[in-house]
């Protein structure tokens, strides 16, 4: 809703790489957007004219469809086919982001591909394509799995953080010269999760927690700082009881997700009245009547 509230958008992409809210991953491998079978130029059933005819049937059905359901379905398919072709053409018109470097797996010492960087490479190319298409705002979701570290966390967490570190570094370097322009000041990347991990170990890993720490990077970010209050960290020895962790190592968050999202939304161009409507609980957070965190 934040992206739709901001003005002058062409169209919004909800999720393209990894698993977004509604869209599985289809763009993080060649040849890019998935085309509706038979609509691309070439041959269909041995006929060079058939692809164009099929495209015409999809985009301009004749006679008109009497059923509202069928008509809406046809409109969605038509819009998808048109958007696919527009995006494919835009991707051909850009200088693609360089291939991301491989990383060394800390467990095996082998040189392996970095899935975070691969996904961010696709996003960088889509950002460049957005310039060709005249887009004003774009939003992308990159799903990164493997963080449910109940067991063997010493090995897996190192690899996960390595991929994230190298991936974000590659992404910001790519944005600095993306398709001949420096777009690093126009892009903000941030992490988010449903929940954090416990501060205490279960013997092999950590369990589901409450609060969590997140990263925000980009040319517009007021970096090199920590926003919010860092929790008290220390062993529960003697009379000491951690005030931020009531039980089992869970951490009571002191910064609201509403504040985090609203700060990003404000940077996207969403005004204060709309932020209040999108996040009805926002007014309950923040010191001095200002709920925004100020990192942008």
* Residues 156 and 133 grouped into a single domain: yes
In a domain, 265, yes or no: no
Spatial neighbors of 158 by CB under 8 A, at least 6 apart, are 106, 107
Angle at 138 between CA 257 and CA 135, to 5 degrees: 150
* Residues 7 and 40 grouped into a single domain: no
* Tens of pLDDT, residues 188-245: 999 998 888 888 888 899 999 888 899 999 999 998 999 888 877 766 656 667 788 8
What pLDDT, on a 0 to 100 scale, did the predictor assign at position 36?
56
Calculate mean pLDDT across residues 20-27.
41
Please count the structural domains in the chain: 2
**Two structure tokens written together for 223:** 């970096």
- Which residues does residue 197 pair with via DSSP β-bridges, in sequence order? 208
Spatial neighbors of 44 by CB under 8 A, at least 6 apart, are 38, 50, 51, 54
* Residues 141 and 215 grouped into a single domain: yes
In a domain, 264, yes or no: no
Q: Which whole-number Å values give the CA distances from 122 to 29, 72, 193, 265, in the listed order?
A: 8, 30, 21, 23
* Residues 15 and 83 grouped into a single domain: no
Please say which residue of 225, 251, 285 terminates a domain.
225
* Tens of pLDDT, residues 81-96: 778 788 888 899 999 9
* Residues 125 and 140 grouped into a single domain: yes
* Tens of pLDDT, residues 277-295: 999 999 999 877 789 999 9
* Residues 85 and 153 grouped into a single domain: no
- Which residues does residue 17 pair with via DSSP β-bridges, in sequence order? 142
Band of residue 7 on the pLDDT scale cut at 50, 70, 90: very low
Band of residue 177 on the pLDDT scale cut at 50, 70, 90: very high
* Residues 56 and 154 grouped into a single domain: no
In a domain, 292, yes or no: no
* Residues 51 and 154 grouped into a single domain: no
Please say which residue of 193, 225, 257 terminates a domain.
225
- Which residues does residue 47 pair with via DSSP β-bridges, in sequence order? 44
* Residues 131 and 220 grouped into a single domain: yes
Q: What's the domain range around 84?
A: 31-92
* Residues 14 and 139 grouped into a single domain: yes
* Residues 5 and 122 grouped into a single domain: yes
* Residues 113 and 198 grouped into a single domain: yes
């Amino acid at each position: 809703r934040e992206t739709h509230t901001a003005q002058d958008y062409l169209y919004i992409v909800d999720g393209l790489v990894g698993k977004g809210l509604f869209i599985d991953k289809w763009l993080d491998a060649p040849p890019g957007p998935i085309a509706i079978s038979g609509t691309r130029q070439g041959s269909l059933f041995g006929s060079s004219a058939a692809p164009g005819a099929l495209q015409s049937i999809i985009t301009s059905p004749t006679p008109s469809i009497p059923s509202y359901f069928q008509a809406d379905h046809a409109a969605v398919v038509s819009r998808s086919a048109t958007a696919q072709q527009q995006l494919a053409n835009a991707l051909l018109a850009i200088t693609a982001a360089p291939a991301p470097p491989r990383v060394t797996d800390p467990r095996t010492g082998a040189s392996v591909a970095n899935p975070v960087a691969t996904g961010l490479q696709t996003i960088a190319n889509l950002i460049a394509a957005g310039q060709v298409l005249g887009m004003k705002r774009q939003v992308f979701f990159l799903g990164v799995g493997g963080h449910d570290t109940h067991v063997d966390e010493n090995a897996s967490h190192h690899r996960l953080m390595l991929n994230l570190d190298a991936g974000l570094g590659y992404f910001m370097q790519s944005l600095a010269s993306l398709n001949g322009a420096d777009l690093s000041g126009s892009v903000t990347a941030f992490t988010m999760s449903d929940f954090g991990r416990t501060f205490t170990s279960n013997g092999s890993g950590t369990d589901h927690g409450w609060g969590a720490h997140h990263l925000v990077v980009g040319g517009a970010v007021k970096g090199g700082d920590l926003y919010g209050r860092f929790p008290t960290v220390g062993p529960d020895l003697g009379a000491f009881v951690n005030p931020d962790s009531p039980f089992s190592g869970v951490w009571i968050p002191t910064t609201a997700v509403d504040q985090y999202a609203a700060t990003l939304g404000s940077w996207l161009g969403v005004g204060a009245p709309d932020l209040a409507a999108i996040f009805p609980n926002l007014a309950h957070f923040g010191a001095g009547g200002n709920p925004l965190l100020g990192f942008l």
